[in-house]
Amino acid sequence: MAKDMLPRQQGFLNSPYPANTKQAAGMINGVQTEVMSISFADKIIVTIMQGGRLAQWIHVLLDSSNPNRADQHVPADSGEGGLLPLPHLTPMTLLGGGDPDREIMGQLYGTQIASAVATKKPEDTRVIVVGLGLSKIEADREIFLDIMELVLKCI
In which band, very low, low, confident or very high, does the pLDDT at 60 lie, cut at 50, 70 and 90? very high
HSE toward the beta carbon, residue 72, CA cutoff 13 A: 19
Rounded CA separation 149/10 (Å) = 41
Taking only the tens place, the pLDDT of each residue in 2-11 is: 444 445 455 5
Could you read off the pLDDT of 11-49 as tens digits, one per residue?
A: 556 666 778 999 999 999 999 999 999 999 899 999 999
Please name every residue paired with 61 in a beta bridge, in sequence order, or none if there are none. Answer: 127
Please indicate whether residue 66 or residue 89 has the higher confidence score (pLDDT): 89
Residue 8 gets which letter from DSSP? P
46 strand-pairing partners: 37, 130
pLDDT at 59: 94
Q: Are 113 and 155 in contact (CB under 8 A)?
A: yes
- Give percent of the chain with pLDDT exceeding 90: 54
Helix %, strand %, coil % for the chain, to 5? 30, 30, 40
Cα 50 from chain centre = 17
Inter-residue contact 114 to 46 (CB < 8 Å): no
Question: What was the pLDDT predicted at 61?
Answer: 93
